[in-house]
């Protein structure tokens, strides 16, 4: 099994990482998925100094190991991980947290800041432009919307076909063959919390 790099400064740090990882695994595999109050500190210890590629590699390795060991119920674990993902996404998107983190980063100036093996940068995110004041843009946008709707309507027609159909084009008088689309899908699990 791959592991995150742990500094040798504190011999107990590697034990702490293992304890934290086990606590997370127990939290997500339980029916109630009770994530401990110290969850943020717990995650700091697990991922201290790790780079994105390393985290991905370890997560993939841990997932394979988790399945191979067969010690855990996978469906409750999946639900628990989705809950943790929802928690983390919600935590990171909370405006009060974002504003406070930005204010703290601004105290360090406009330069990039290296912290715990990661880089923090202040920059413009999600820049949007409004072109509606331009008449040519509005004309093109209307044409695109009309053509897009025509395509959607034609796709709906094609989906309704079970076999090849020949259709007469009223404008040209020509007969054109139309075929049902090929369909592909992937079976998976959808978790609704």
What digits encode the pLDDT tens for the residues 123-153? 888 889 999 999 999 999 999 999 999 999 9
CB atoms within 10 A of CB 27: 19
Question: In which domain, by residue range, is 173 found?
Answer: 135-178
* One domain for residues 28 and 83: yes
Given a cut of 50, whether residue 107 has pLDDT beyond it is: yes
Does residue 142 sit within a domain?
yes
Burial classification of residue 20, based on how many CB atoms lie within 10 Å of its CB (0-12 exposed, 13-18 middle, 19 or more buried): buried
Of the ranges 37-41, 52-56, 57-61, 118-122, which one carries the lowest mean pLDDT score?
37-41
Does residue 124 sit within a domain?
no
* One domain for residues 33 and 85: yes
> Could you tell me which of 137, 24, 28 has the C-alpha nearest to residue 79?
28
Average pLDDT over residues 67-88: 88
Give me the percent of the chain exceeding a pLDDT of 70: 76
Residue pair 35/87 in contact (Cβ under 8 Å)? The answer is yes
Q: Tell me the pLDDT tens digit for each residue of 16-44.
A: 445 555 665 565 555 555 555 555 666 66
* CA–CA separation, 148 and 155 (whole Å): 10
Q: What is the pLDDT of residue 1?
A: 38
* CA–CA separation, 24 and 107 (whole Å): 33
Average pLDDT over residues 74-90: 89
Instruction: Answer whether 0.85 is exceeded by the pTM.
Output: no
Q: Which of 93, 123, 154 is the last residue of a domain?
A: 93
What is the β-pairing status of strands 118-120 and 113-115?
A: antiparallel
Does residue 56 sit within a domain?
yes
Task: Name the pLDDT band for 110 (thresholds 50, 70, 90).
Answer: confident
- In order, the DSSP letters of the chain are -------SS-THHHHHHHHHHHHHHHHHHSSS----TTHHHHHHHHHTT--HHHHHHHHHHHHHHHHHH--S-HHHHHHHHHHHHHHHHHHHH-HHHHHHHHHHHHTT-SS-EEETTEEE-----S-----TT-HHHHHHHHHHHHHHHHHHHHHHHHHT-SS-EEEE-TTT--EEEE-PPP-----------
Query: What is the domain count for the chain?
Result: 2
* One domain for residues 17 and 88: yes
* CA–CA separation, 84 and 25 (whole Å): 11
Does residue 52 sit within a domain?
yes
């Amino acid at each position: 099994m791959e592991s995150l790099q742990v500094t040798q400064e504190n011999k107990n740090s590697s034990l702490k990482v293992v304890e934290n990882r086990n606590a997370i695994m127990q939290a997500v595999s339980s029916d109630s998925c009770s994530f401990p109050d110290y969850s943020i500190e717990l995650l700091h210890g697990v991922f201290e100094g790790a780079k994105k590629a390393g985290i991905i590699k370890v997560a993939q390795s841990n997932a394979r190991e988790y399945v191979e060991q067969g010690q855990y119920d996978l469906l409750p674990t999946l639900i628990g991980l989705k809950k943790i993902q929802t928690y983390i996404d919600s935590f990171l998107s909370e405006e009060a947290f974002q504003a406070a983190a930005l204010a703290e980063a601004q105290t360090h100036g406009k330069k990039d800041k290296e912290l715990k093996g990661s880089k923090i940068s202040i920059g413009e995110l999600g820049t949007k432009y409004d072109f509606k004041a331009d008449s040519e843009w509005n004309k093109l946008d209307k044409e695109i919307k009309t053509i897009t709707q025509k395509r959607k309507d034609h796709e709906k027609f094609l989906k309704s076909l079970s076999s090849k159909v020949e259709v007469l084009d009223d404008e040209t008088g020509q007969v054109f063959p139309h075929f049902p689309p090929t369909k592909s899908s992937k079976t998976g699990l959808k978790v609704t919390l």
